[in-house]
């Protein structure tokens, strides 16, 4: 199975949303090949908005279900895209 699907997840109010997001990611953990979490931080504060980037290996249905569950959360936005040399 090719793992060319990338999903970006924008999370606002990380402190409130993180447990629910983590629960969904854990539920779908078998299709997550790689995960990178990013957020702004400086000497004076840690910001509330975060970005999670996933590399996914799963069926279209599994990936769509993950996206739907994430997008059902308030202040969470998930979008996916597929990288390919083939034209779609």
Per-residue pLDDT 10s for the chain (88 aa) are: 678 999 999 999 888 899 999 999 999 999 999 999 998 777 777 778 999 999 999 999 999 999 999 999 999 999 999 998 877 5
Sketch the domain layout of the chain as residue ranges. 5-82
The pLDDT assigned to 31 comes to 98
Is-above-0.85 flag for pTM? yes
Tokens, residue 81? 């895209």
Instruction: Say whether domain 5-82 belongs to CATH 3.40.50.2300.
Output: no
The pLDDT assigned to 48 comes to 84
The pLDDT assigned to 88 comes to 58
The pLDDT assigned to 47 comes to 79
Determine which helix (DSSP H) or strand (DSSP E) holds 26, and give its type and residue range. Answer: helix 14-27
């Amino acid at each position: 199975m090719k793992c060319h699907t990338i999903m970006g997840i924008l999370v606002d109010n990380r402190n409130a949303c993180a447990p629910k997001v983590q629960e969904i990611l854990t539920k779908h953990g078998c299709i997550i090949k790689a995960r990178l979490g990013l957020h702004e931080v400086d000497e004076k504060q840690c910001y509330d908005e975060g970005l999670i980037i996933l590399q996914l290996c799963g069926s279209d249905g599994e990936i769509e279900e993950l996206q739907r569950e994430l997008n059902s959360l308030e202040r969470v936005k998930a979008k996916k895209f597929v990288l390919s040399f083939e034209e779609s």
